[in-house]
Structure 1
């Protein structure tokens, strides 16, 4: 009887701990879109201390407890979604040309980290040399549902099917499941048509309409 009682007590204790932990987790997650919440959004990852839009930059953002990692989304010539801000690869790689004019194989040959070392010798790391431009799928594989995603569709009018491909990957990695918190994924764009397309595909995704003010950091 004592053994049974001990097992029951231990079982109830563990259940209570789990319920409290689960409730705390749900409260924490539900606070993502709380209008009074102060959110840390890692712009292009931890881009001040690592090459922007690379897995290293996103990992550092996660290590620094960012609430969201921000991803600028573009489409390669062969239709693959990649994390890249500029229309061209000139500024942040050793290559040149438009992202939309390059196949993924060509994008993957680029060195997306050496420029950062050259411009930031005090933050340079040998591991950044030769670092690659990641695909959105690679980002989701690396971080899964441990991260919250703040995604911007770039050049959607020149990337037919971008929204469908984005939703396909979000669903593949179960980031839009009901079990996920509201605001797990947020999508923003300068294109109202792109946001409308996403809303038609999934009306529950929070959307943000960007307005061009000439600011260079969007």
Structure 2
């Protein structure tokens, strides 16, 4: 791996240690903490009864192996589902597999994740992505900030930053909690010229690593802004080298232990 990075980027566990554990489960996040992740990343969606849960997809087919839309279900309904078996469907046939702890494999509420971070024995940051479009619109951000306020994490010094592909969602957060850091996610290189005039002066940038690889001029343009850059999803040594060459602030990875090992030589 190349050397000479200006500073070590923050290692952010994407949906937890999701390369080895089922994404967005408490088990995945506890593993990421054990592996020394500097920060945890999660996606949040709102249930029908107003709870924020850590789920990426709007429907449940991939991660809970059944039909259903998160926004139309109550938390109690989601709580009955197994969100981990899809990751290792043959585990029940493995006599050497450790006994499962159902609490680690259920739907994870954002409140539970915040409590886990608050109780941890070192500072851990949180990168929370609000998913759009959604039937609840701006209610997602309002519920998020209500919850952050309970933890005292809606003000300067908060360990939380909010990310979204929706710049209007980030504008809502800025109006409601001006001191919460914001990251404008960038899905396609050709979106950047349209986003640049409308995003806040102090927002950070979150490009995908594939776009940086496929469009080198995108990385050059982002670096010239002088803004912190948080790149997703960085899972190989080649991808990490690209990030180090750009001097990015954070790398979001499914493999926090592996990336830490690369950075630490």
TM over 0.5: yes
Give structure 2 stretches of 5+ with no counterpart: 1-5, 190-207, 211-231, 234-265
Confirm or deny: 8 A CA contact 1:73 1:82 kept in the other structure: yes
- Write the distance in 1 (CA, Å) between the matches of 2:78 and 2:8: 38
2:112 aligned residue (118, 133, 138): 138
Report whether the alignment pairs 1:127 with 2:72: no
Seen in structure 2, the aligned counterparts of structure 1 residues 195 and 125 have a Cα distance that, compared at 3 Å, is farther
Seen in structure 2, the aligned counterparts of structure 1 residues 191 and 124 have a Cα distance that, compared at 3 Å, is farther
Report whether the alignment pairs 1:194 with 2:179: no
The within-5 A match list for 1:150-165 is 150-155=127-132, 157-160=134-137, 161-165=139-143
- Measured after TM superposition, the shift of residue 211 of structure 1 is 2.4
Confirm or deny: 8 A CA contact 2:51 2:75 kept in the other structure: yes
What is aligned with 2:65?
94
Confirm or deny: 8 A CA contact 2:12 2:40 kept in the other structure: yes
Q: After superposition, what is the alpha-carbon deviation per residue over 1:140-183, rounded to whole angstroms, capped at 9, x for unaligned? A: 122216431011001254224111111111111122454x36xx
- Write the distance in 1 (CA, Å) between the matches of 2:75 and 2:54: 12
Give the stretch that moved more between structures: 125-134 or 157-166.
125-134
Give structure 1 stretches of 5+ with no counterpart: 1-34
> Which structure features the higher share of helix residues?
1
Q: Which has the larger radius of gyration?
A: 1
* RMSD (Å), alpha carbons: 2.8
Confirm or deny: 8 A CA contact 1:73 1:83 kept in the other structure: yes
- Measured after TM superposition, the shift of residue 213 of structure 1 is 3.0
Q: After superposition, what is the alpha-carbon deviation per residue over 1:22-44, rounded to whole angstroms, capped at 9, x for unaligned? A: xxxxxxxxxxxxx8441101000
Seen in structure 2, the aligned counterparts of structure 1 residues 124 and 71 have a Cα distance that, compared at 3 Å, is farther
- Taking structure 2 as the reference length, what is the TM-score of the superposition? 0.61
Confirm or deny: 8 A CA contact 1:95 1:110 kept in the other structure: no
- Taking structure 1 as the reference length, what is the TM-score of the superposition? 0.73
- Write the distance in 2 (CA, Å) between the matches of 1:119 and 1:204: 46
> Which structure features the higher share of strand residues?
2
- Measured after TM superposition, the shift of residue 94 of structure 1 is 3.1
When the two structures are aligned, how many residues end up with a matched partner?
A: 181
